[in-house]
């Protein structure tokens, strides 16, 4: 990728200020296959200044102009769709079928949903004699993760552009190449100079400089709760808007009337999707105590059915985790599950048989997990499922809510009214009933330590808008 060692600032690919470089590693082989430049404070100054200059004119454009730009971005995205899927597969190890059908597809679906949202969005409305006007929040810093990279990039960049904001994107340095490709897509679509700027770099250097910069009006961050706390501290002195989608430890309640075979199998597969590297993964499976052993046996079969291997193998259903750091964390938490007395029902420490290179993790199922155990409380971010027995519906709700997180929850029941009733009592930003289809227009974000604010659809657009009331505007 010819622009990997450059940054996109003020509508042009430019050389970085410094000489720092970082290898991009293929997690399937543990070998570097590309290199990126790492930015510094000087690069941040250049990018923020470009965004600030561009805001003066771009903020005054009409919504219709910006919507037309989003349509051109969608066309340019589709022209390089296959390339996007291949890049993501290589840099995070996602099986190529998953990368094509989901990783790259989510970028397309967010753009399409945003266009639908903008068609009916009330940019202005009258409330008596007051005019309520939606205006861009300003210059925004966007900091995105490595696990669903283009999903989180598009669901921030696209609504920020539609709102009339200008921006600086810092993607994860672990999976940066899809962001470089996306910058090329935006350039081809004719995004005006300075509206979108891309810097690669690490969090302590580039990320921190963006979050504390006085000319940045808002930070939108997706990542760990630990990093989210630090970002909030950095942003506080300038009273920026801080929008955060953070960690999760989502409960999946299987009520006592479900088809257990189907519900457990789907729950295991959902937990293990993307090698378990999803913030909203259903990692705590709550099952009726009387059917615990039956559920465990089903989960063992479901785990055994997965084919672990390289991303480019058509038979692979689960690739590696993304890095050596992530591999070590998952292994440590698997060991802690064993040490704390959970029953290891499938998988366990080490690589799957026959895989000696690559950050591959054995699909792991723990049974008889108590709510106090580390594996029931910490976000593991790997293919590790905790099966937890409960006494009755009230106990299940209590266990589900007994977590510092509140990003997502899942409820399975043959009785839709019952599932809805339980869903309303769960302290989570998203609740999924009976494994529904993914909805790009549903609000996404969390309660408690899972963050604040919502993304996707109208909520994603509103996140980048200020509300002005012009009182006495008249009839």
Q: Can you list the domains of the chain with their CATH numbers? A: 7-246+450-470 (3.40.605.10), 251-440 (3.40.309.10)
What beta strand segments (E) does 166-318 contain? 166-170, 196-198, 218-222, 241-245, 251-254, 284-288
Nearest-angstrom CA–CA distance, 381 and 279: 7
Q: Which two tokens stand for residue 342?
A: 């959970």
Q: Which two tokens stand for residue 434?
A: 């009976």
The alpha-helical segments, DSSP class H, found in 379-453 are 393-401, 416-423
Give the mean pLDDT of 377-406: 98
pLDDT value of position 175: 98
pLDDT value of position 142: 98
The alpha-helical segments, DSSP class H, found in 346-438 are 374-377, 393-401, 416-423
Please give the distance of CA 93 from its chain centroid, rounded to a whole number.
16
Condensed to tens digits (0 to 9), the pLDDT of residues 396-442 reads 999 999 999 999 999 999 999 999 999 999 999 999 999 999 999 99
Reply yes or no on whether the pLDDT at 387 is more than 80: yes
Nearest-angstrom CA–CA distance, 353 and 363: 12
Cβ neighbours, 10 Å, residue 154: 24
Strand partners of residue 444:
455
Reply yes or no on whether the pLDDT at 451 is more than 80: yes
Reply yes or no on whether the pLDDT at 85 is more than 80: yes
Give the mean pLDDT of 336-362: 97
The catalytic residues are: 245, 279
Cβ neighbours, 10 Å, residue 362: 24
Condensed to tens digits (0 to 9), the pLDDT of residues 320-338 reads 999 999 999 999 999 999 9
CB 83 within 8 A of CB 110: no
Q: Are strands 408-412 and 430-433 parallel, antiparallel or unpaired?
A: parallel
Range 68-99 burial, b when 16+ CB lie within 10 A, else e: ebbeebbebbeebeeebbbbbbbbbbbbbbbb
pLDDT value of position 445: 98
Condensed to tens digits (0 to 9), the pLDDT of residues 239-254 reads 999 999 999 999 999 9
Please give the distance of CA 402 from its chain centroid, rounded to a whole number.
23
Reply yes or no on whether the pLDDT at 2 is more than 90: no
CB 333 within 8 A of CB 364: no
Nearest-angstrom CA–CA distance, 251 and 447: 14
CB 135 within 8 A of CB 468: yes
DSSP 324-349: HHHHHHHHHHHHHHHHTT-EEEE--S
pLDDT value of position 461: 98
Give the mean pLDDT of 222-238: 96
Torsion of CA 155, 51, 205, 459, to 10 degrees: -20
CB 456 within 8 A of CB 222: no
Q: Which two tokens stand for residue 193?
A: 């100079």
Reply yes or no on whether the pLDDT at 53 is more than 90: yes
Phi, psi of 176 (to 5 degrees): -95, -20
Reply yes or no on whether the pLDDT at 281 is more than 80: yes
Nearest-angstrom CA–CA distance, 358 and 321: 9
Q: Which two tokens stand for residue 62?
A: 């009409």
CA-wise closest residue to 7 among 174, 173, 225, 215 = 173
CA-wise closest residue to 383 among 282, 309, 265, 252 = 282
pLDDT value of position 380: 98
pLDDT value of position 441: 96
Phi-psi region of 385 (alpha: psi -120 to 50; beta: other; left: phi over 0): beta
Condensed to tens digits (0 to 9), the pLDDT of residues 250-273 reads 999 999 999 999 999 999 999 999
Burial classification of residue 416, based on how many CB atoms lie within 10 Å of its CB (0-12 exposed, 13-18 middle, 19 or more buried): exposed
Nearest-angstrom CA–CA distance, 92 and 86: 10
Q: Which two tokens stand for residue 437?
A: 């289809």
Reply yes or no on whether the pLDDT at 340 is more than 80: yes
Percent over 70 (pLDDT), the chain:
100
- Mean pLDDT over all residues of the chain? 98
Reply yes or no on whether the pLDDT at 1 is more than 80: no
Q: Which two tokens stand for residue 132?
A: 């309520």
Nearest-angstrom CA–CA distance, 32 and 2: 16
Strand partners of residue 469:
132
Q: Which two tokens stand for residue 2?
A: 């010819």
Nearest-angstrom CA–CA distance, 465 and 326: 35
Percent over 90 (pLDDT), the chain:
99
pLDDT category at 475 given cuts 50, 70, 90 is confident
Reply yes or no on whether the pLDDT at 362 is more than 90: yes
């Amino acid at each position: 990728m010819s622009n990997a060692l450059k940054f996109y600032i003020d509508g042009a690919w430019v050389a970085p200020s410094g000489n720092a470089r970082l290898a991009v590693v293929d997690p399937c082989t543990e070998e570097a296959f590309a290199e990126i430049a790492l930015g510094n404070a000087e690069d941040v100054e250049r990018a923020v200044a470009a965004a600030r200059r561009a805001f003066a004119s771009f903020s005054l454009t009409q919504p219709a102009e910006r919507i037309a730009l989003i349509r051109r971005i969608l066309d340019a995205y589709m022209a390089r769709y296959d390339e996007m899927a291949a890049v993501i597969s290589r840099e995070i190890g996602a099986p190529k079928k998953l990368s094509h059908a989901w990783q790259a597809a989510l970028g397309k679906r967010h753009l399409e949903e945003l266009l639908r949202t903008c068609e009916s969005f009330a940019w202005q409305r009258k409330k008596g004699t007051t005019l309520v006007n939606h205006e861009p929040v300003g210059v925004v810093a966007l900091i995105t993760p490595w696990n669903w990279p283009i999903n989180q990039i598009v669901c921030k960049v696209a609504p920020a552009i539609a709102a009339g904001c200008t921006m600086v994107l810092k993607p994860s340095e672990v999976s940066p190449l899809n962001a470089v490709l996306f910058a090329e897509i935006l350039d081809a679509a004719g995004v005006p100079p300075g509206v979108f700027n891309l810097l690669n770099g690490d969090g302590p250097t580039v990320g921190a400089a963006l979050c504390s910069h006085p000319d940045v009006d808002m930070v939108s961050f997706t990542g760990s709760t630990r990093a989210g706390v630090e970002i909030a501290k950095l942003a506080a002195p300038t009273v920026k808007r801080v929008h955060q989608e953070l960690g999760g430890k989502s409960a999946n309640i299987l009520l006592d009337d479900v088809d257990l075979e189907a519900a457990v199998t789907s729950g295991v597969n959902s937990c293990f999707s993307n090698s378990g590297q999803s913030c909203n993964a259903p990692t705590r499976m709550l099952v009726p105590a009387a059917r615990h052993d039956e559920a465990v046996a089903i989960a063992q079969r479901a785990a055994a059915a997965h084919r672990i291997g390289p991303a480019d193998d058509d038979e692979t259903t689960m690739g590696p985790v993304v890095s050596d750091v992530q591999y070590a964390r998952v292994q440590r938490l698997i060991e802690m599950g064993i040490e704390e007395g959970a029953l290891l029902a499938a998988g366990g420490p080490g690589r799957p048989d026959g895989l000696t290179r690559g950050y591959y993790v054995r699909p792991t199922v723990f049974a008889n997990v108590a709510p106090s155990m580390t594996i029931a409380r910490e976000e593991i971010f790997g293919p590790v499922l905790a099966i937890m027995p409960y006494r009755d519906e009230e106990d299940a709700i209590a266990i589900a809510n007994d977590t510092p997180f509140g990003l997502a929850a899942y409820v399975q029941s043959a009785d839709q009214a019952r599932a809805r009733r339980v869903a309303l009592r769960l302290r989570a930003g998203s609740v999924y009933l009976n494994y529904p289809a993914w909805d790009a227009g549903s609000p996404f974000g969390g309660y408690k330590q899972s963050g604040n604010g919502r993304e996707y659809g109208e909520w994603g657009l509103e996140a980048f808008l200020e509300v002005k009331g012009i009182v006495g505007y008249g009839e």
